[in-house]
Chains A and B, each alone.
Chain A
Amino acid sequence: MKKNKILIVDDELSVRTSLEMWFLEDGFCVETAASGEEGLNKMHAGPYDILLLDIKMPGMDGITLQKKIKEIDDRAVVIIMTAYAAVDTAVEALKLGAFDYISKPFEPEDLSRLVFNALKQKELADENMQLKEQMSELMEVEEIIGVSSGINKIKEMVGSVAKIDSSVLIRGEGGTGKEHIARVIHHQSNRRYSPFVIFNNSCAIPESLLESELYGHEKGAIKNAQCRRKGKIELANGGILAIADIDAFTLQMQGDLIRVLESKKFMRLGGREEVEVDFRLICMTKKDLEKLVKKEQFREDLYYWINVCSIFIPPLRERSEDILPLARHFITKFSRKFGIQEKRLHPEAEKCLLGYSWPGNVLELENVIERAQVIGKESEIIHKDFPFHHDGCK
C-alpha cells in the first residue's frame, strides 16, 4: 500500500522530532526541514501529500514558504502551525490556500483529524482530476467537418474563442450548423464538464411560457405549475447557455436578459428571491442583427453584450468542397446509429450532391444521407436515392 508522504518544516528540533515520531507511527513517510529555504529545496524534489509549515521561522517564514510552494504545486495540501493563536495570520494563510491552521501545542485528536481530513480532500481532488481525464477520453469528440477556406477559418476562430469566457454570436442561414458550432465551443472550453443547455426561441409559444422556460417558475406562478421548476438559465449554471434565434426575443425579453447578464442574478417567475447564476452565453441567429438594431427591433446594448466574438457560417452552396466530406461523415454516423453496413457513394451520386443548391444547408444534407442509407436498396448510395435527383442533379 502506498505510504503518504509528509514534509514538516519547523526551526525547532524538538517539534520536528516529535512530529516525525508521531507521523512515523501513523505509517507516513516523513521528511523534515529546519528552515523555509530547506523546505523549499525539498519541495522541488517532492511531491508530498501534506506539508506542515511553522509560521514563525527565521529567514523565510511559513506564509512566504506557502506562497512559493503553491507556485510549484497549486494543489499542495498545506497545514500551517503556529504557537501564536493570531487570527490575522490564520486568515492570511487560509486566503493563500492553506488547508487549515493549527495552534501549538495540538490536541492529539485535532492533529489526527486534521491530517485525516486533509488526506481525504487530496484523495477526492486527485480522483476528480482522474475522472475528468477519463471522461475527456470517453466523450464523443465534437468536430467541425469540412475542408473549405470558410470552414478552416471557423475552426481557427473556434479554437481561439473557446478558451476565453466571453459571449459568442453565431450567424448563418438555417441548417448551416450553428448549434453544432456552439457544441464544439463548449467541448473545447473550460466549461466542458459543466452543462450545455439550449434555449429554442419559438414564435409559436406565448411569451409567458417562453419566460417560464428560460427563467423557471415557482409553484403556482403559471397555470398548471404544480411545483417549482428550474429554467434553462438555472440549468446552465456553471456551463453554457445557447440561445437559438436570439433575434426573436421581444424587446421586453431582451431587457430582462441584459439585467441577468449585468447582475448575474435572476428571479424565477413568481419568485421572491434572486438567484445567482454564472453561465457563458452563445447566441445564434439567421437574421441581420445590425439591421434590426437600426430598425430598433433589437436593443443595441444587448447586441454589444452578445457580439463580443462573432462567427459567420457560410451557406453550403458557397463551400461546395465541404459537401462530400460532410456526406461521408453522415454516412458513417448513420451506419453506426442503425447498425448497418457503411455504403459508398457512387460517382454519379457524388456529382448529384455537388450539383444541388442545398437551400436547407447541412441539415438538409444530413437528412438526405440518412434517408439514402435507410431506403437505398443498392450496396452503394446512388443518385436515385436522393429526393431531388430528378431536378437537382446537373
Chain B
Amino acid sequence: MMAANKKVYLAFINDYRPPFWENLEKDLSHSLPLPFSHLTVESGLNLFYSGDRKQYHSTLILSQIINQLPEDGGKIVGITDVDIYIPILTFLFGEAQLLGRGALVSTHRLHNEFYGLPRDDTLLYRRTLKEILHELGHTFGLVHCQNYMCAMTSSSYVEGIDLKKAKFCRPCQAKAEAAPA
C-alpha cells in the first residue's frame, strides 16, 4: 500500500480541531491500517480568500499544506473549518490529489448549525471522519463508488454523508490495499 515507514499526517490548520479529534487516527486506521500522526500547520488563509464568494480557494490551501508534509510522511490531510471552493463549483466538502500526497477537508458545511439545526458534536465527528476517509481514499487512487454505503460514494449534500459508512466497501478496500506507494 504505502511504504511501511511513511506516516499519514492529519494537519490541523491554524490549530482548528474538530470535536473528538483525538479518535480520528484510531478510527481511520480501521479502514487504512497505516501509521497515523498529527500536527498543526500554520496557514495564512486570508491569502486564499475570495471576497466575492466569501470562501477560501481549496486548491491553493491544499498546495500550501502539501509543502508542509514532514519527511517521514507519505500523505497529509489538512483539516479546516473555513468554507472552501474551487472556481467551477459553489462549494466543496473536501479536495484531494488523485493518487497524490495531499487532501483537504472542511468541516464548515458538516456542522448541523450550518443548516439551522441544533449542534451535534457526535454527528459532526462522524461526518468529518467519513470525509477524511473519502479524501484519503482518493490519494490512494480510489474513485467514486456506486455503493451508497461506501465511504467512497460521492456526496453533494450532507444527508448523503450521513447515509454512508465510515469504511470502504470490499472492492474499494481491496483497491486501497493494492494501491501503489
Contact B87 A107 (CB under 8 A): no
Which residues of B72-116 are within 8 A (CB) of A?
Answer: 85-92, 95-96, 98
Task: Give B88's nearest chain A residue, CB to CB.
Answer: A18
Tally B residues with Cβ within 8 Å of A.
Answer: 18
A105 at the interface (CB under 8 A from B): yes
Contact A21 B156 (CB under 8 A): no
How distant is A56 from chain B, measured CB to nearest CB, in Å? 15
Which of A24-32, A87-95, A159-167, A244-252 lies at the binding interface? A24-32
Contact A27 B144 (CB under 8 A): yes
Known A21-B98, A27-B143; judge A108-B87 contact (CB<8 A). no
Task: Give A81's nearest chain B residue, CB to CB.
Answer: B88
Contact A104 B88 (CB under 8 A): yes
Contact B154 A18 (CB under 8 A): no
Contact B143 A111 (CB under 8 A): no
B59 at the interface (CB under 8 A from A): yes
Known A24-B98, A24-B143, A27-B144; judge A112-B88 contact (CB<8 A). no
Task: Give A107's nearest chain B residue, CB to CB.
Answer: B90
Complex alpha-carbon distance, A68 and B93, angstroms: 37
A19 at the interface (CB under 8 A from B): yes
Complex alpha-carbon distance, A150 and B154, angstroms: 67
B164 at the interface (CB under 8 A from A): no
Contact A111 B98 (CB under 8 A): no
Task: Give A19's nearest chain B residue, CB to CB.
Answer: B88
How distant is B64 from chain A, measured CB to nearest CB, in Å? 17
Complex alpha-carbon distance, A12 and B86, angstroms: 13
- Most interface-central of B88, B91, B143, B154 (chain A CB within 10 A): B88
How distant is B9 from chain A, measured CB to nearest CB, in Å? 21
Residues in A with CB closer than 8 Å to B154 are 25-26, 112
Which residues of A69-108 are within 8 A (CB) of B?
Answer: 104-108
Known A21-B98, A25-B98; judge A108-B144 contact (CB<8 A). no
Contact A106 B90 (CB under 8 A): yes
A109 at the interface (CB under 8 A from B): yes
A14 at the interface (CB under 8 A from B): yes
Tally A residues with Cβ within 8 Å of B.
Answer: 20
Residues in A with CB closer than 8 Å to B98 are 21, 24-25
Residues in B with CB closer than 8 Å to A14 are 86-88
Residues in B with CB closer than 8 Å to A107 are 89-90, 156
A334 at the interface (CB under 8 A from B): no
Known A24-B98, A112-B156; judge A15-B143 contact (CB<8 A). no
Contact A106 B144 (CB under 8 A): no
Contact B88 A26 (CB under 8 A): no
Task: Give A13's nearest chain B residue, CB to CB.
Answer: B87
Residues in A with CB closer than 8 Å to B90 are 105-108
How distant is B95 from chain A, measured CB to nearest CB, in Å? 8
Complex alpha-carbon distance, A25 and B156, angstroms: 13
B87 partner, pick from A18, A27, A111, A112, beta carbons under 8 A: A18
B157 at the interface (CB under 8 A from A): yes
Residues in A with CB closer than 8 Å to B156 are 107-109, 112
A22 at the interface (CB under 8 A from B): yes
Residues in A with CB closer than 8 Å to B157 are 109
B138 at the interface (CB under 8 A from A): yes
Known A26-B154, A112-B154; judge A106-B89 contact (CB<8 A). yes
How distant is A144 from chain B, measured CB to nearest CB, in Å? 52
Residues in A with CB closer than 8 Å to B85 are 105
The 4 closest A-B pairs by CB, nearest first: A109-B156, A27-B143, A108-B156, A18-B86
Q: 7 more A-B contacts (CB under 8 A) besides A25-B143, A108-B91?
A: A22-B88, A24-B98, A25-B138, A25-B154, A26-B144, A104-B87, A108-B89
Binding site for B on A (CB under 8 A): 12, 14-15, 17-19, 21-22, 24-27, 104-109, 111-112
